[in-house]
Amino acid sequence: MIQLRDYQKQAVDACYSHLRNHDDNPVIVIPTGGGKTAVMATICSGAVNIWNGRVLILAHVKELLEQTYNTLTGIAPELQVGLHSAGLKRKDTQHPVIIAGIQSIYRKAFELDPFDLVIVDESHMIPPEGEGMYQAFLNDAHIVNPNLRVIGLTATPFRMTTGLICQPDHFLNSICFEVGIKELIRDKYLCPLRSKASKTRVDTSGLHIRGGEFIANELEELMDTDARVKAACLEILEYTQDRMAVLIFAAGVEHGKHIQRIFQEQHNIDCGFVSGDSPDGWRKKMIEDFRSGKLKYLCNVNVLTTGFDAPNIDCIAMLRPTMSPGLYYQMTGRGFRLHENKKDCLVLDFGGNILRHGPVDCLRVTDTAARGNGDVPAKECPRCFEIIHAAYARCPSCGYEFPPPEKTKHETTASTEGILSDQASVNEYDVQEVLYSVHTKKGAKTESPQTMRVQYKIGFASYISEWICFEHSGFARHKAEIWWKQRSTESVPDQSDLAVFFATNGRLREPIKIKVKSIPGQKFDAIVSYQFEDPQLSDWSIDKSFPEYVPTDDEIPF
């Protein structure tokens, strides 16, 4: 039986609830390394063993098909899983669960037995030009079984180039569940990242953009100069003496080969290289050697971004700028997985991607173009090149003292920087949605007080939480009373479940903005004030009669 983490179980439950209560097709969003396959296996097991249905898992690339098959059969051996892929020389058609490449089956819906559920794995990878195959297959599959439902699974619910994948007229329509990177890092399910910028600046202002991304040949020409490649390779070596596995992303095939050549000829260090043109056997050997530790440095071009699993990666070197937040996320996401011998993953950014897109755990994506928006106030330490939040007066890495700013600028959007957004600052966020739930502290006795958890959605897969302690006494209860009276004329409830009932039935006034304080070393961000639409509460609302309340460990509901 598959043992799910709490958030994985919530994802499964949310998916089932959506399928029961909505007619459209949901998407589950779980960060890279967060265990999407366990969620997929649970859904497949329920569909087959409880409802006697059939499941088709669709993917876009051969490597992802093979990896999904191996992982799925490993964690759910009781499932009968088949493969249908011309590239893998398998054409199974009778299994209860079939993993298939869309290129192999998009014209074969009428040749296969009916499916009850289609799961689109890594659904952000579907290119606009490839959507026709998915749509053609699903149109025919709906004729075979009019009750067919579709589920998307992804770490990033937006395309590499053209915006959000959930649209009313798309075959994926709405997100039913998402969990954030910061939450999984906090709970030790993902590895922390830290970042360094290149000592050599790359000016991309002269590059043209097509389809939301830099034009490939112009990008490679910019990055593939002898001086730039030599400097980058030397810098990578300087930073990675004590690293286990270094994954390098190049701007093109010739650029990647150039990087490999400099490592081998000038530094006498083996560096593997794979691209879409690499023979299958060679690519497989390079990846196996890299995963096993035989090969420390591996350079690739557009191959090892999605679905590539190597937990030992503890350094990512991005030698390619990108305008795509999806590609930026997928590159850095290769370092999220946990490994017993690594404490963090170092991200070396030679393309200005972190400064361009912002924190990887709080990407800002519009529904018309997959690129960051708004200012991203960050700075690089001139001494050690650590990328840090602009609010730092002293570099936390090397102690460098920054000169005082000439002027300050009021930020109206999330404004943390660094590869993760947990630097010290007070930031203002628009509140997109407010969620309420009853929360019981982990390991608590049955008679222990519960709390109401309030989650403010502030961006893609990004939430700020607070816990309102109606059932506590003393200062915690008093803060709960103040919180409630800001939002309702009803009597302050004594029970968390009653508070949640009122909240979920529209009886509470909800803020349109919040201000959040983030302090390095503290486990949780703290909401310090709220702004409401109500004219009576048009100013920032904050209780000034009491000192700032920091919960004791015993009052944090985890």
Domain boundaries, the chain: 6-185, 191-404, 428-555
* Separation of alpha carbons 29 and 122, rounded Å: 10
pLDDT at 302: 84
Tell me: the pLDDT tens digits for 323-341? 888 888 889 989 999 999 9
pLDDT score recorded for residue 519: 62
**May I ask the CATH architecture of the domain 191-404?**
3-Layer(aba) Sandwich (3.40)
Q: Higher pLDDT residue, 210 or 231? A: 231
Given a cut of 80, whether residue 423 has pLDDT beyond it is: no
Residue 124 carries which side chain, given as an amino acid letter? Answer: H
Confirm or reject CATH 3.40.50.300 for domain 6-185, answering yes or no: yes
User: How far apart (Å, rounded) are the C-alpha atoms in residues 170 and 163?
Assistant: 12
- Please determine, for residue 541, whether its predicted confidence score (pLDDT) is greater than 50: no
DSSP string, 171-194: S--EEEEE--HHHHHHTTSS--EE
pLDDT of the residue at 179: 87
Show the 3-state SS of 416-434: CCCCCCCCCEEEEEECCEE
> How much is the average pLDDT of 20-32?
89
The predicted-structure confidence for 387-399, as pLDDT tens digits, reads as follows 765 555 666 667 7
Could you read off the pLDDT of 86-125 as tens digits, one per residue? 888 889 888 999 999 888 988 999 988 899 999 998 877 6
pLDDT at 547 (0 to 100): 39
Whole-angstrom CA distances from 323 to 3, 116, 215 are: 38, 38, 10
pLDDT range class, residue 307, cuts 50, 70, 90: low
Q: Which residues contact 221 (CB under 8 A, 6 or more apart)?
A: none
| Cα separation, 297 vs 554, whole angstroms | 45
Work out the average pLDDT over 367-378: 42
Q: Which of 104, 94, 134 is nearest to 118 (CA)?
A: 134
**Mean of all residue pLDDT scores within the chain:** 81
Ranges 155-164, 219-228, 450-459, 464-473, most confident:
219-228
488 vs 370: which has the higher pLDDT: 488
pTM: 0.65
Q: Rounded mean pLDDT of 297-326?
A: 88
- Check pLDDT > 60 for residue 525: yes
Whether the CB-CB separation of 354 and 390 falls below 8 Å is answered with: no
Structural tokens at position 488: 């309702």
The rounded distance, in Å, linking the Cα atoms of 384 and 421 is 19
pLDDT reported for residue 239:
93
What was the pLDDT predicted at 366?
46
In the prediction, which pLDDT does 312 show?
A: 94
- Is the pLDDT reported for residue 416 higher than 50? no
- What pLDDT score does 390 carry? 55
Q: What percent of the chain has pLDDT over 90?
A: 38
